[in-house]
Amino acid sequence: MKRFLLWDYPRASWQYDVMVGIILAFVFLTPRAIFRDQPRVSSVVMLPPGEEGTSSFWLEPELLSTIPEQQRAAHVADLLRRHAGKGRNIVRLEPMLDSEQEIKGYMAYTRP
């Protein structure tokens, strides 16, 4: 057991190959759910800076679907404060529509 834990076998021996096989089996056969390692898509994405010091952010439509239109700017400001860590003033909030006039997301333009 000591040789196994300290990896004391010479390379290309059958013991070495068995240990490598066990490690590879663990890596490739262990389900993600055991480690709770599920990919998460960011729902707020900062885009490259715009003109005159403005910043722009892409927001997923699910973030604002239940928020009344009059309260969306305040809600977006709160989301961006949590996401970016700084207070930002919302200059403009525009829904992005596809060819069938369905909302695919929102663009928020801010200034510090």
pLDDT in tens, 3-18: 877 888 888 899 899 9
Going from N- to C-terminal start, the domains of the chain cover: 2-35, 44-111
Please give the single-letter amino acid code of residue 63.
L
Q: Taking residues 51-65, what's their average pLDDT?
A: 84
Please give the single-letter amino acid code of residue 75.
H
Q: Which residue's entry shows tokens 């207070």?
A: 87
- pLDDT for 24 equals 95
Classify residue 49 by its DSSP letter: P
Could you tell me if 88 and 81 are in contact, meaning their C-beta atoms sit under 8 angstroms apart? yes
Q: Is the pTM of this model over 0.85?
A: no
Q: CA dihedral in degrees (100, 101, 107, 109; nearest 10)?
A: 140
